[in-house]
A and B are shown apart, each in its own frame.
Chain A
């Protein structure tokens, strides 16, 4: 009996000890990034390599299932794509023409097109948030590959998120559909600015919300492109966020809000491109000149 009491007393001390440890760690890590350092090293040698391994097997299996898609589907798709190619070709020619004109005009105005081409590096997604509440994921490149916090992450042609934490061989990315994410965006055609924020209640519909867009005479209609704006201090300018799917005038009659369908399919995100220039670098350089 005595032995049992001793054991349960020890358990209580252990509970207390570990709980105090947790609370101290919480306080420390909310004040300083460095507190998490030793744990990151731990993750580095244990779970990250295993995640990378599983991910390779996973993508290999994904490829296998893709192979089983029927011929007919592929043919139909091919036909559709061919049509799209044709229409895009025409559009491309037209755009080329415009580009030359733009270049000429830019030369005329002596504008430097410093944001036209960002340098990018590709990375694989190796793990996603273990819960259902937030939407962050880890990629298999880290500070050793030149990744740093605040770098923008794209998937395909659209904005996927931003690097919020970096380890030696991995980085954590918060996607723009995450409940705590806010991006300053603008409508491409009218340059009206708005705030694009992720929302857990819209995540299952695959949509994000935008608000605080000025209610002026500029028409914003369904299908308009929303890109990152020029005033954001973290996101580079002109990256596609998504397309307007619904827009309404707020009851105060001053602002408009609505929903955006993101350009990125967040359900099946496998490869991402990390832009290795941060906005801070870009603006810092231009100040220096």
Chain B
């Protein structure tokens, strides 16, 4: 039982780190019109509604802290945003079932949109930069569209990994009963 828990932790950490690394390195050269997708919000949201608030929060926190350490001006800001995203997505766990792709896409879309708006509010509006429509058109919406496109590839992968882990956990649980 303990090894399985460890395995889940290890696999989750690996997914977070790979997503982060892809975002910082490979997607740099896969930019479309100077925009790259936000893999971290996909991972955070996916773990939120698949595994519940607790894992969503922890994954979000890890994603945010990684971003903060390397690229944030202050530690903790991105961590807080991703933390909230993970928690809120976790609330939708009871509505979620595996075969449905509409809810995940919807949740990831809303998360990504709110993420963009919050970043604008905290980092640009507070510097009295009121050109919201421009940022909406040039950054938030293109990033949203690209992210949704990537979701269609990345989300089934995360789902598959989760399935495998859950199947294993179930097997070992029934063994003990």
Q: Give residues in A with beta carbon < 8 Å to B.
A: 7-8, 10-11, 14-15, 18-19, 21-26, 28-30, 35-36, 39-40, 42-43, 46-47, 50-51, 54-55, 58, 62, 126-134, 136, 138, 172, 179, 200-201, 203-204, 267
Which residues of chain B have C-beta atoms less than 8 A from A46's C-beta?
17
**Complexed CA–CA distance, A1 and B18 (Å):** 37
CB distance from B86 to the nearest CB of A (A): 9
From DSSP, what is the main secondary structure of chain A's interface residues?
helix
- 18 A-B pairs with CB atoms under 8 Å apart are A11-B53, A15-B87, A18-B57, A18-B79, A19-B80, A22-B79, A26-B74, A29-B76, A30-B74, A39-B69, A43-B69, A58-B26, A128-B25, A129-B24, A132-B36, A133-B123, A136-B71, A138-B70
Chain B residue with minimal CB distance to A24?
Answer: B76
Given A11-B53, A26-B77, A203-B34: A18 and B61 interface contact (C-beta under 8 Å): yes
CB distance from B19 to the nearest CB of A (A): 10
Which residues of chain B have C-beta atoms less than 8 A from A14's C-beta?
54, 57
**Complexed CA–CA distance, A215 and B158 (Å):** 59
Q: Give residues in B with beta carbon < 8 Å to A.
A: 17, 20-21, 23-26, 28-29, 31, 33-36, 38, 40, 52-54, 57, 61, 64-71, 74-77, 79-80, 83-84, 87, 90, 119, 123-124, 131, 134-135, 138-139, 143
Given A23-B76, A127-B25, A201-B131: A18 and B69 interface contact (C-beta under 8 Å): no
In contact, B83 and A51 (Cβ under 8 angstroms) = no
**Complexed CA–CA distance, A50 and B20 (Å):** 11
In contact, A130 and B23 (Cβ under 8 angstroms) = yes
CB distance from B118 to the nearest CB of A (A): 11
Q: Which of A40, A128, A200 has the most CB of B within 10 A?
A: A128
From DSSP, what is the main secondary structure of chain B's interface residues?
helix
Give the contacting residue for B70; candidates A18, A43, A133; CB below 8 A: A43
CB distance from B81 to the nearest CB of A (A): 9
In contact, A47 and B54 (Cβ under 8 angstroms) = no
CB distance from A182 to the nearest CB of B (A): 13
In contact, B20 and A47 (Cβ under 8 angstroms) = yes
In contact, A131 and B76 (Cβ under 8 angstroms) = no
In contact, A23 and B80 (Cβ under 8 angstroms) = yes
CB distance from B166 to the nearest CB of A (A): 18
In contact, A11 and B25 (Cβ under 8 angstroms) = no
Which residues of chain A have C-beta atoms less than 8 A from B23's C-beta?
130
Which residues of chain A have C-beta atoms less than 8 A from B54's C-beta?
7, 10-11, 14
CB distance from B68 to the nearest CB of A (A): 7
**Complexed CA–CA distance, A29 and B76 (Å):** 9
CB distance from B143 to the nearest CB of A (A): 6
In contact, A11 and B87 (Cβ under 8 angstroms) = yes
Which residues of chain B have C-beta atoms less than 8 A from A128's C-beta?
24-25, 28
Listed from nearest, the 4 A-B pairs whose CB atoms lie closest are A25-B76, A127-B24, A22-B76, A22-B80
**Complexed CA–CA distance, A192 and B26 (Å):** 42
In contact, B139 and A132 (Cβ under 8 angstroms) = yes
In contact, A15 and B25 (Cβ under 8 angstroms) = no
Which residues of chain B have C-beta atoms less than 8 A from A35's C-beta?
75
**Complexed CA–CA distance, A46 and B13 (Å):** 11
Which residues of chain B have C-beta atoms less than 8 A from A55's C-beta?
25
**Complexed CA–CA distance, A50 and B13 (Å):** 14
In contact, A130 and B40 (Cβ under 8 angstroms) = yes
Chain A residue with minimal CB distance to B119?
Answer: A133
Other A-B contacts than A15-B57, A23-B76, A54-B26, 20 sampled, CB-CB below 8 A, are A11-B57, A15-B83, A19-B80, A21-B76, A22-B77, A23-B80, A26-B75, A26-B77, A29-B76, A30-B74, A35-B75, A36-B69, A46-B17, A47-B70, A51-B25, A128-B28, A131-B119, A138-B70, A179-B124, A201-B131
**Complexed CA–CA distance, A33 and B24 (Å):** 24
In contact, A29 and B36 (Cβ under 8 angstroms) = no
Which residues of chain B have C-beta atoms less than 8 A from A132's C-beta?
34-36, 139, 143
